[in-house]
Amino acid sequence: MNYRHSFHAGNSADVVKHSLLIALVRALQQKPGALTLLDTHAGCGLYDLGGEQAQRTGEAAHGVLRAFADANPLLDDYRAAVRAVNAGAEPHLYPGSPQFLAQLLRPQDLLILNEKHPEDAVALRDAMRGTAAAVHTRDAYELWLAMLPTKTPRGVVVVDPPYEQTDERERITATLAAAHRKWAHGVTVIWYPLKDRATHHQWKGRLRRLGIPKFLTIEHWLYDADMPGIYNGAGLFVVNPPYAFTQTLPPLLEALRTALAPEGHGGEMMVDWLVA
């Protein structure tokens, strides 16, 4: 499944992913110790919602624009982060994960970004100018392992690939297993699109067999049953989620489900321990 982000910026998956990233990092920041935030597939960093690629799909209308039309205060932090790159106005630019993470940095924290695609890497450096981010252009899976353990005692690795390669899930599975051996206590977040339940359950089975403890899965299914051949939602795997984060999930996920539900469909938010 090809998921080039410039076509999908600001869609429902972004709203969920970035709302949860904010909640996760803030939960970790309840302790004063420094954090390293590492984004292995950072993308362009900033996206034009009025651009040709975003307009071709129109997915922001069902994502960030719905979140802005919703009054639930649980989405205020997300909306504030989007407004920060739009001079406080309604969104015409959409921040990628690097921008969300940069806004969360404290003086003691580190932000490491990686984007191998040459054009996207240039755009990323431009988007992150004036921030404390370090930008790399390496193979994402090689960099993921090379940066572990992080320089700070605690850290978060965000893995958000476009799923353009047929072996993407296999590379994630193998790299996660190796990363856990090097950095068993670290927090890892893996984003994935949902196309059909059967294929996804097979991947979850392979991940379960890794035997990694404290492996949380959060899934946002847009439709009550699979819609063949289209994007059906997205999810996050979170390894070693902090307790403060898991406690915030039920009301936040319900707020997101309500704001993003397509007309005629309730949608579903599923949270479960892949390995308890």
Pair of tokens at residue 243: 């307790």
DSSP letter at 225 equals S
Q: d(Cα 112, Cα 123) in Å, to the nearest integer?
A: 16
Q: d(Cα 160, Cα 5) in Å, to the nearest integer?
A: 10
Half-sphere CA count of 194, side-chain side, radius 13 A? 27
Check if the beta carbon of residue 41 is closer than 8 Å to that of residue 114. Answer: yes
DSSP readout, 73-101? Answer: GGGHHHHHHHHHTTTTSS-SEEE-HHHHH
Q: Output the CA angle 90-91-92, nearest 5 degrees.
A: 120
| Residue 99 CB neighbours (<10 A) | 26
Residues with catalytic annotation?
160
| 34 Cβ neighbours under 8 A, 6+ residues apart | 106, 108, 109, 110, 152, 153, 154
Phi, psi at residue 233, to the nearest 5°?
145, -165
- Partnered with residue 270 across adjacent β-strands are 219
Q: d(Cα 17, Cα 235) in Å, to the nearest integer?
A: 8
CA 157: distance to chain centroid? 10
Q: d(Cα 96, Cα 124) in Å, to the nearest integer?
A: 10
**Which residue type sits at 179?**
A
